[in-house]
A and B are shown apart, each in its own frame.
Chain A
């Protein structure tokens, strides 16, 4: 379910009509997918009302929609995603800020209306938009662990005395634009969810191996400067499918293949490790090296049940060497 927050009924009218929302109480409207909350004006009102509404339904995200004044001469009626949100009191930024979208404009939520040019001028370096609620809504959503988004429509130029009159006059027009934008946003996110589902039949991935598979796919895509689809096509999935392997074993082999392409030394290091382990095993000893290949030290262990066995193992220790490990750790090998 989505929680939409807006400050006033005037700007919310378009959303109520487009999504056929029913009035639950004077400040709350809903259908099966969407709840619309009217927060009223100001960050304290916004944080309080959002926090009280969040426990009422199982929300998957909170979206703040509304008007904002421009500090930078943006065209009235433009809609922008919000990139960062700051709280401003006495024209100074507070410590807590929120990142919303990676692109967009930075919005300052102010405790007071910014109607004087001098005040607007002082805020210009902090952000491009000024509103009265978004930071409060974000604070409540982030505290509750619910993803937060915000879109603002430019309603006026901040620092002008007649800003409130312009907003009132254009309230319905803004509200229609905001509701259209919300509809587009829902449509685009549904498409994105479907586009990221990549299928690989005949393979079985657990939660963690799927995560590793995706990470390796991305690394290879970056490294080889090819799309993820091209990387997928270049993997030996078909060859592995033809082999008599369980789907889980097949996935393991595929991941090894991908890791070898990401790390040019992986296969060589594994081979060197096996050789080293074998040389210790022949003497009845076990050598364990850092699986991350970071710590140059190794653990050497053995089992002994009698003094004679112990003496034999001590003698065996004198005959083994760590020189090849030191060589590996110093990068002393060549890969062409």
Chain B
């Protein structure tokens, strides 16, 4: 069993009488890719910010392993246009950075040629890679990526997810990702945690997508095959209402109440 890096123990956050998070339990270990999904306003970013120390929990506790070093990649980077800044200078701002590592890290994320570019002229995908490089320069054993593929086209998204997986394989670090695109990210994830103020369901991608709580939030996977690029094993059939039926069972079981109970995932 690999080292557990972070555990959330019954994290709850209440803001102005509104419950943002309610008793969240989850953990991330070395070498594990955990994806946090949930609808807008479900508290994904709040949970991440709690882990990063940008927000304090009203109840519960974040248990950090003493070796924990976080590399954080924010959702987007806004740098005031009045501030002239090259990629190189931006990366040199990492606290205690080894400057000799800047160029190799940029090359690792595939943008070595952008070293002297101004940060203001980068495309969406390039900006995400610069941010990833900045996260990596912290020598992290846990990468925290808040919507890492925002503003990137579909091909670019696949490349970025491949890159993240490659980095995980190379460094053996844990990865915690926030995402609301469900299909692309699934193929690269070990554990999916679906939250909506509380943890709705968690487990392997196959398990979660079959879970009724997930389906209530996001619909039934496979209903829109055209964008289901992840390795989806369609081991169940749907009735005319879109409810999931088990393939092994007869069609006259239509109207089964619990889709999950009848759905045998690998």
Asked if A pairs with B, the answer is no
Residues of A within 8 A of B (CB): none
